[in-house]
Every structure is written in structure tokens, then in C-alpha cells.
């Protein structure tokens, strides 16, 4: 017997091995095997098929062992990964590895941890009074208890998502009698649990969308939908009810979300509705827990998976519906290891499974809206917020006009209109969110005498000044330098330019000393647990003003927020990236959508130097359609996606090495370029971020009229990649997101 094996190594294609007679009864499709590979005597491999005869001129070797008692990959997942391998031009072994939970990868033999019921954590009646006393000495316990007090009785999973390392803190709280954990016995697979709270009656718009989705589920055939619903229109309720229908058919569901840590409420809503039928897959869980959740899905005990990017490979049985929430979010793109796009793979998986696929967003990606326009996706629209709440009113603060009027705008920190709105909002006891996509205090430090700029020696970027830590920091490689008062070159005085979130926080404290201010960015919150703590305090209205990076723009639902301020809308506009306008529009619309979700109407102020830029002007008018139309026209004119397909080839090495390799790749690609406009090459050129961590970076960008020409050029490049000149490394990125 011969098997085809994908080896867990950075190699393309599969390898054929023979199976010793003793192993024949246990070997099978989708199981892992140990195989000799290269110099390794036992590499992990995945059986992806059988072979009649060995390839020409190959000396067959035996597999050494079969590692699993049952297939880890069912045929549908083998098909999906097979598709991904050929589309994303990646080594299959890396995809198989990425598809398994880390706990399972480490283990030989998939033994099953005990089946557990759903556990809940809750604060006890003594908790609120005891919280202040926990204060300084037990910061971890304080944060966990604070969260519990804000959220009440919640599934343990949600707490783990919020505080990945909060286990010890929770046990300590239980021992002190401040929290308790209780268990609910698991339901037999497929049974519907009683909902914890009565779900809201669907609005007419929701009902219309649901009727279409129900029809598609009945038909039991592939049906892709784009659910375009404004912020606060109740998209999640549509997902929940669609999944309920799938469960009634005895089938399963897969829900992909951008980042569970940033939106722990979302996981909580699925748990509240479906209890033990939900398995969560995300990096907040321990390896063991992820393994256990994965097995519950594989065995059909849990029929619904809610997870991040890599959960697109989750072994949900009998898949009826796939949901991708916030489908426009860049976090669905895997940037390290195998470079896949989970949203796109979800559509492929739905097609292969004959399932319904729902891509949901208030700001659909241009790829998805173009698919809807071409009739490939059915468009479902929710144009109104639930309960007839109005969308917030959005106003521009034109920084250029203010400056021309003689006002020192302080680089647009807190303009007079925004300062007034902030003071008024906090005076009324309402909450505000201030958004700026730059960390630190000042983004650049220059010497006023000699003009010396502090730059990172390893990366081609300037260093950011972080005042609280008293350091200059490289946001790309993490290099830290102590800051000195005087210029190291000439001893002259130094000046900081460019506002970061740390400075915004300080400005708010100056402006409204009574306001309780918190900051949400990667400096202020070191761990996932801190994120949840800050969000819980904000939800609990112990914080009045939340300042942060794009972390504050995610799908949060804080009814107390009536003001959203955008400190500088232009930060993303200037990036050398064809998606710069799209990203700007999405961020502005999403952050604006955090305002006015409760009974009080919301107000949004956007500070900008570019008030007429379409991305900003359309966000002010809540005009998604207008933005999409203008942007699609410009993408078509310039031949960018979705009107073309891109393949980025990224080369890294020492200066001359990277250059030599990039030039050799360009030379090898040349024969593919003459084919009548089907394929174009940009570069080779130094990347926008020319140096990173001391390595030089060069890029080639191929744009083709479909996947086929890109595959052809990949084929031509393969020999160069196998022996890259100058010792450089080469990486392929299909449908790239990062243009830096």
C-alpha cells in the first residue's frame, strides 16, 4: 500500500511512502503519521491520499508509525486544505499544522480529555464590598473580580477569553468567598438548550433577512450572502437565529470573529443562547482547553464553533451555515506562516459543503460588495438601527480652517469644538471615546539646532517618544532607547512632533481634571486580561473617557457612549497602500458606530486636514454606497483589486543579497509578462518599509487578471526560490493586505 503524505515542513507538494503490512489496518485518510524525511528520522506527516505507483526514480521509504486512532481531518477538510494549498501557493504541511489546535500538534495520538459541562463564574454577594480592599496587592484578582461584577454570571470560557492567565486569580477569589464557579451538565449533541434570556423579537428588516436565510437553509445548497447592516442594526441577532434554524435541522455552524479578546461580550451572547452546543477556539484558551474544544466539535458534541481566523479549519460536523462577522476586518488575513484569508476560505468551505455563508459588516470590503454587485453574493441589508435609534450625527472639524482662522491647533490635539463637546459630555455624566491610530506621546523627536531625527538603526522608521516610560521606542522591532534632554550630536534642544494616544490621554486629564480617563492601546494594556479589565470598567461606567487606538473601534456595545472624537482622521490616508482610503472609511464608520447605541443620541467629531477626501466626506454622511461606488471606479481605473488579483513576492536579506535575489526573480518572471496584458509586474523595488529588524526588504508585485497567470509566474519563480541568490529568503503572499 502506498500513501501520499503532506510533511509538516516548508516544502511544496506531497511525498509518497509505502505502508508496512502491520500498519495497513490503522493507516487512513486524514490521520497523522511519522515518516523519515530528509535527515529527520521521524517527521510528522498527514495522509492526504493513496497512490498506485511510486513517482519515477524515487526510492520508497516506509512510514514509521500511525499517530492517530481516528482521522483528524475529515474529507471535507482535506478538500479545503487542498484548495488553499494550490490557491495560496503554500506548503501543505504548514496548512495542516495551522489547522490543528496547538495542544493537538504537540501530542502524539489524539486522546480525549474528559467531557465537561459548561461552567459559569459569578461574583458572590460579598464581592462588591471587598473589591476596594483587593486593590494594590492583588492586581490580577482585582481585575478579574471587577470584570465579574460588571458582567454578572458568565460562562467560564468568556472569562478565559478575557483573562488568559486569570486562572490562579479566579481560584484565589473562590477561596476568599468572593466568586464561585458552578457547572451545567452537558446536553446530548444537537439538543437545543433553553435560552438563558428571551431573545428579542426580530425587527421587520431582520425578519426579512432571516426569511431569505431560512429559505437557503431549507434548500441545503451553497448560498453566499453579504449582510450589510449599519452599526447597531442587530446583525448578531440575525446570525443567532440562522444558527438556531441550522441546529433544528440537526446540522452545525461555524462563526468567525476578528478578535475574541476585544469583544468578549460576543462569545458570551452565543453561550447565552446555545450553552454547551458552542465550542470556542481562540488563543485565550490554554492548549489543553483548545484541544478539548476541538475534540467536542470533531465528535459532534458541540455543533457550533465560534472562533478566530484559524477556526475556519475547525472540524464542525455537518456544516449548514458559516458566518464571518466584521468580514472587512484585516485580522482575517494570516500574515505569518501560511498566508491565507480566512474570510475567503470560509466562502470556499461553504461552497464545498453546500452550506449557507453569511459575511456580515457595516462596512463591507470592496471585494465583497463587488461580488454582491456581480450577483455572486446575495445582498441583505439592515438600513436602520434597532428600536429606531438614529445613527449618530457626524461633524467635521476642519483643522486647516481653524489654523487659517489664527488658532494654534496644536497639531490637532483637542480642537476647541472637540474640547467643548468633551467637557459637556462628561458634565452630563455620559461617556466618550477618543480614537487615534498612533501609540506613544510624540511620533517623532527632532533637534531644533541641527535637525537630527531619532530613527531606528535597524528599521527605516522614526522612533516614537513614550513619556511615561521615558524612552524612545521602535514600533516595528521593539528597540528601546533612553531619551536624553539634549541632542546627542550637538547638545541642542529637542522638540517632539506628532500626537500619540499617550498625549491625548494627558490632554484630556488637563482639560477635564474630574473625568476618569483610561487608555486602550498596546502600551497601556500589556495582556489580553488588561484589555478586558479596561473594557469592563468602561462598560460599568467607572471610566468616563476611553482613549485608544483601533482597539476602541471594534464592535463594542456601550450604551453610555454619546460622544466619539477622532483626533486625526488622516493617519491611515497617507499610507502607500491602495486600501488606504477603504481602511480610513471603515475605521471612521466603525468608531462612529460606537456612539448613541443607548437611549441618548450620539455625536461624532472628526478632526482632519483633508475634509474633502472621499473617505472622510462619505463617513460623515454615513454614505457607504457613495464611497464604494467612487472607490470601485478608481480601483477599476487603476487596475487594483477587486478588478485584478495580486501576488506579492517578499524578499529579505542583507542589502546586496536581497537586491540580487529580487532581480533574479524579476528576470525569471519575464517570460510570463508578454502574455497580452494578463500579467503585470511592479518592481522589483525596495519595500516602503525598506529595512526591518536590520534586514533589507525588496518586493515584487504581480497583478493578474485571475489566479491562473499568478500560478504561472509562481511556477517560473520556483527554481530561484529553491536556491535564492545572496542567501535571501523569499515569501509568497497571494491577495496581500500589507503593502509595506
Give contact residues for ligand ADP (rule: CB under 6 A): 200-203, 206, 229, 231-237, 386-387, 555, 557
Smallest separation (angstroms) from ligand ADP to the CB of 604: 15
Residues in contact with 335: Cβ distance below 8 Å, sequence separation at least 6, in sequence order? 737, 738
When the beta carbons of 176 and 479 are compared against Zn ion, the nearer one is: 479
Nearer to Zn ion, 149 or 474 (CB): 474
Smallest distance from ligand ADP to CB 235, Å:
4
Return the SS3 of 681: strand
Q: Which helix (H) or strand (E) holds 417?
A: helix 416-427
Q: In this structure, are strands 356-361 and 179-184 parallel, antiparallel, or unpaired?
A: unpaired
Q: Which does 202 bind (CB under 5 to 8 A by kind): Zn ion, ligand ADP, none?
A: ligand ADP
40 Cβ contact partners less than 8 Å away, ≥ 6 residues apart: none
**Taking the complex as a whole, how short is the minimal distance between the CB of residue 322 and ligand ADP, in angstroms?**
17
Q: Which does 288 bind (CB under 5 to 8 A by kind): ligand ADP, Zn ion, none?
A: none
Measured from the CB of residue 198, what is the shortest distance to ligand ADP in angstroms? Answer: 11
Residue 233 touches which member of Zn ion, ligand ADP, none, C-beta under 5-8 Å by kind: ligand ADP
Q: How far apart are CA 549 and CA 496, in angstroms?
A: 20
Residue 457 and residue 45: Cα distance in Å, rounded? Answer: 42
How would you label 277-306 residue by residue, b for 16+ Cβ within 10 Å and e otherwise?
bbbbbbbbbeeebbbbbbbbbbeebbbbbb
Residue 477 site contact among ligand ADP, Zn ion, none (CB < 5 to 8 Å, cut-off depends on kind)? Zn ion
Closer of 229 and 704 to ligand ADP (Cβ)? 229
Residue closer to Zn ion (CB basis): 34 or 471: 471
* 3-class secondary structure, 347: helix
E-only strand ranges, 544-593: 545-548, 561-566
Ramachandran assignment for 375, one of left (phi > 0), alpha (psi -120 to 50 degrees), beta (any other): left
Q: Name which of 127 and 227 has its Cβ closer to ligand ADP.
A: 227
**Partner whose footprint covers residue 386, from ligand ADP, Zn ion, none (CB < 5 to 8 Å by kind):** ligand ADP
Q: Give SS3 for 187.
A: coil
Q: How many residues does the chain have?
A: 740
Q: How far apart are CA 685 and CA 37, in angstroms?
A: 37
Give min distance, CB of 195 to ligand ADP, in A: 13
Q: Is 596 helix (H, G, I), strand (E, B) or coil?
A: coil
CA 169/CA 139 separation, integer angstroms: 9
Q: How far is the CB of 323 from ligand ADP (least distance, A)?
A: 11
Q: Which does 235 bind (CB under 5 to 8 A by kind): Zn ion, ligand ADP, none?
A: ligand ADP
CA distance between the termini of the chain? 48
Of 693 and 711, nearer to Zn ion (C-beta) is: 693
Element (DSSP H or E) covering residue 717: helix 707-722
CB of 238 closer than 8 Å to CB of 226: no
**Binding stretches for Zn ion (CB under 5 A):** 456, 458-459, 474, 476-477, 479
DSSP SS3 for 140 = helix
> Based on CB atoms, which residue is closest to Zn ion, 192 or 477?
477
Alpha carbons within 13 angstroms on the beta-carbon side of residue 182 total 6
Query: Could you tell me whether strands 304-307 and 378-382 are parallel, antiparallel, or unpaired per DSSP bridges?
Result: unpaired
Question: Of 387 and 542, which CB lies nearer to ligand ADP in the complex structure?
Answer: 387
Q: Which residue lies nearer to ligand ADP by CB, 421 or 552? A: 552
Q: Which is nearer to ligand ADP, 200 or 478 (CB)?
A: 200
CB 347 within 8 A of CB 225: no
DSSP E strands: which ranges in 52-187?
65-66, 118-123, 154-155, 179-184
Residue 206, binding choice from ligand ADP, Zn ion, none, Cβ under 5 to 8 Å by partner class? ligand ADP
- Which CB sits closer to ligand ADP, 155 or 412? 155
474 binds, among ligand ADP, Zn ion, none (CB under 5 to 8 A by kind): Zn ion
- Residue 235 or 251 with smaller CB distance to ligand ADP: 235
Give the orientation angle of helix 139-151 with respect to helix 528-539, to 10 degrees.
Answer: 40
Please work out, in degrees rounded to the nearest 5, the angle formed at the alpha carbon of residue 37 by the alpha carbons of 34 and 41: 65
Q: What are phi and psi of 137, to 5 degrees?
A: -70, -35
Classify residue 479 by its DSSP letter.
Answer: -
Residue 194 interacting entry, from ligand ADP, Zn ion, none, C-beta within 5 to 8 Å by type: none
What gap in Å lies between CA 540 and CA 147, rounded to an integer? 9
Please, which residue, 205 or 690, has the CB nearer to ligand ADP?
A: 205
Residue 197 Cβ vs ligand ADP, minimum distance, rounded to whole Å: 10
DSSP run (H or E) holding 684: strand 679-692
Give the shortest CB-230-to-ligand ADP separation in angstroms: 7
Please state the closest distance from residue 6 (CB atom) to ligand ADP, in A. 38
Contact 411, 524 (CB under 8 A): no
From the list Zn ion, ligand ADP, none, partner contacted by residue 200 (C-beta under 5 to 8 A by kind): ligand ADP
Among ligand ADP, Zn ion, none, what binds residue 23 when CB lies within 5 to 8 Å by partner kind? Answer: none
Grid coordinates belonging to 631:
472607490
Beta carbons within 10 angstroms of residue 431's beta carbon: 26
Closest contact distance (angstroms) between CB of 689 and Zn ion is 10
CA distances from 244 to 191, 210, 282, 598, 704 (A): 11, 11, 22, 27, 41
Cβ 490 vs Cβ 451: under 8 Å: no
Minimum distance of ligand ADP from residue 232's CB (angstroms): 5
CB of 572 to ligand ADP, least distance (A): 22
594: partner contacted, choices ligand ADP, Zn ion, none (Cβ within 5-8 A by kind): none
C-beta of 360 vs 704, nearer to ligand ADP? 360
Q: Provide, rounded to whole angstroms, the least separation between the CB of residue 202 and ligand ADP.
A: 5
Of the pair 269, 691, the CB lying nearest Zn ion is at 691
Report in angstroms how near the CB of residue 334 gets to ligand ADP at its nearest: 24
Question: Binds 498, which of ligand ADP, Zn ion, none (CB < 5 to 8 A, cut-off by type)?
Answer: none
Q: Least distance (Å) from ligand ADP to the CB of residue 557? A: 5
Report residue 311: phi and psi, to 5°: -70, -5
Among ligand ADP, Zn ion, none, residue 496 binds (CB under 5-8 Å by kind) = none
Residue 459, contacted partner among Zn ion, ligand ADP, none, CB below 5-8 A by kind: Zn ion
Amino acid at each position: 500500500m502506498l500513501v501520499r503524505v503532506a510533511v509538516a515542513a516548508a516544502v511544496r507538494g506531497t511525498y509518497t511512502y509505502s505502508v508496512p503490512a502491520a500498519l495497513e489496518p490503522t493507516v487512513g485518510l486524514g490521520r497523522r503519521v511519522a515518516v523519515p524525511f530528509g535527515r529527520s528520522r521521524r517527521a510528522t506527516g498527514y495522509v492526504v491520499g493513496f497512490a498506485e505507483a511510486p513517482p519515477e526514480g524515487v526510492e520508497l521509504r516506509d512510514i514509521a508509525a500511525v499517530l492517530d486512532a481516528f482521522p483528524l481531518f475529515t474529507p471535507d477538510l482535506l478538500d479545503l486544505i487542498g484548495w488553499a494549498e494550490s490557491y495560496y501557493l503554500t506548503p501543505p504541511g504548514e496548512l495542516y499544522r495551522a489547522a490543528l489546535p496547538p495542544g493537538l500538534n504537540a501530542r502524539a495520538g489524539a486522546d480525549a480529555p474528559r467531557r465537561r459541562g459548561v461552567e459559569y463564574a459569578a461574583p458572590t454577594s460579598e464581592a462588591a464590598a471587598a473589591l476596594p480592599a483587593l486593590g494594590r496587592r492583588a492586581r490580577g484578582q482585582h481585575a478579574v473580580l471587577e470584570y465579574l461584577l460588571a458582567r454578572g454570571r458568565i460562562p467560564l470560557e468568556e472569562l478565559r477569553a478575557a483573562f488568559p492567565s486569570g486562572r490562579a486569580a479566579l481560584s484565589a477569589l473562590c477561596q476568599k468567598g468572593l466568586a464561585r464557579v458552578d457547572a451545567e451538565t452537558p446536553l446530548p449533541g444537537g439538543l437545543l438548550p433553553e435560552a438563558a434570556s428571551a431573545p428579542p423579537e426580530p425587527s421587520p428588516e431582520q425578519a426579512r433577512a432571516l426569511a431569505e436565510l431560512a429559505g437557503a437553509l431549507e434548500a441545503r445548497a451553497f448560498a453566499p450572502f453579504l449582510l450589510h447592516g449599519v452599526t447597531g442594526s442587530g446583525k448578531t441577532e440575525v446570525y443567532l437565529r440562522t444558527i438556531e434554524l441550522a441546529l433544528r435541522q440537526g446540522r452545525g455552524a461555524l462563526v468567525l470573529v476578528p478578535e475574541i479578546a476585544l469583544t468578549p461580550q460576543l462569545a458570551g451572547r452565543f453561550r447565552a443562547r446555545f450553552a454547551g452546543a458552542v465550542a470556542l477556539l481562540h488563543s485565550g484558551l490554554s492548549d489543553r482547553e483548545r484541544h478539548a474544544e476541538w475534540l467536542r466539535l470533531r465528535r459532534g458534541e458541540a455543533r457550533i464553533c465560534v472562533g478566530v481566523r484559524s477556526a475556519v479549519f475547525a472540524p464542525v460536523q455537518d456544516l449548514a451555515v458559516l458566518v464571518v462577522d466584521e468580514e472587512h476586518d484585516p485580522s482575517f488575513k494570516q500574515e505569518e506562516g501560511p498566508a491565507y484569508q480566512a474570510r475567503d476560505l470560509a466562502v470556499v468551505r461553504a461552497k464545498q459543503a453546500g452550506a449557507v455563508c453569511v459575511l456580515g459588516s457595516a462596512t463591507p470590503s470592496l471585494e465583497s460588495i463587488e461580488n454582491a454587485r456581480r450577483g455572486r453574493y446575495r445582498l441583505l441589508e439592515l438600513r436602520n438601527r434597532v428600536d429606531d435609534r438614529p445613527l449618530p450625527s457626524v461633524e467635521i472639524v476642519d483643522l486647516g480652517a481653524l489654523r487659517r482662522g489664527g488658532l494654534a491647533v496644536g497639531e490637532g490635539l483637542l480642537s476647541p469644538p472637540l474640547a467643548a463637546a468633551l467637557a459637556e459630555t462628561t458634565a452630563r455624566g455620559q461617556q466618550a471615546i477618543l480614537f487615534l491610530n498612533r501609540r506613544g506621546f510624540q511620533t517623532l523627536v527632532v533637534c531644533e539646532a541641527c535637525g537630527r531625527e531619532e530613527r531606528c538603526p535597524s528599521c527605516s522608521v522614526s522612533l516614537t517618544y513614550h513619556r511615561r516610560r521615558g524612552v524612545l521606542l521602535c514600533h516595528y522591532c521593539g528597540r528601546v532607547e533612553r531619551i536624553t534632554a539634549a541632542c546627542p550630536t550637538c547638545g541642542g534642544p529637542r522638540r517632539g512632533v506628532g500626537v500619540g494616544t499617550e498625549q491625548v490621554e494627558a490632554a484630556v486629564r488637563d482639560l477635564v481634571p474630574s473625568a476618569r480617563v483610561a487608555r486602550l492601546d498596546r502600551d497601556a494594556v500589556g495582556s489580553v486580561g488588561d484589555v478586558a479589565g479596561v473594557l469592563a470598567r468602561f462598560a460599568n461606567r467607572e471610566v468616563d473617557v476611553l482613549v485608544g487606538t483601533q482597539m476602541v473601534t471594534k464592535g463594542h456595545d456601550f450604551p453610555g457612549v454619546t460622544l466619539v472624537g477622532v483626533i486625526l482622521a488622516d493617519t491611515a490616508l497617507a499610507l502607500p497602500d491602495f486600501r488606504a482610503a477603504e481602511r480610513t472609511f471603515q475605521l471612521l464608520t466603525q468608531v462612529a458606530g460606537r456612539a448613541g447605541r443607548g437611549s441618548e443620541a450620539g455625536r461624532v467629531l472628526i478632526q482632519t486636514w483633508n475634509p474633502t477626501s472621499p473617505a472622510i466626506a462619505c463617513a460623515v454622511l454615513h454614505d457607504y454606497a457613495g464611497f464604494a461606488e467612487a472607490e470601485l471606479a478608481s480601483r477599476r481605473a487603476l487596475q487594483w483589486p477587486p478588478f485584478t488579483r495580486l501576488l506579492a513576492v517578499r524578499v529579505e536579506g542583507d542589502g546586496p543579497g536581497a537586491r540580487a535575489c529580487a532581480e533574479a526573480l524579476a528576470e525569471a518572471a519575464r517570460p510570463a509578462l508578454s502574455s497580452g496584458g494578463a500579467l503585470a509586474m511592479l518592481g522589483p523595488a525596495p519595500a516602503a518599509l525598506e529595512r526591518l529588524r536590520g534586514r533589507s526588504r525588496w518586493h515584487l508585485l504581480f497583478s493578474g487578471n485571475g489566479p491562473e497567470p499568478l500560478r504561472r509566474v509562481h511556477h517560473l519563480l520556483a527554481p530561484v526560490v529553491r536556491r535564492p541568490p545572496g542567501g535571501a529568503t523569499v515569501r509568497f503572499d497571494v491577495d496581500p493586505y500589507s503593502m509595506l
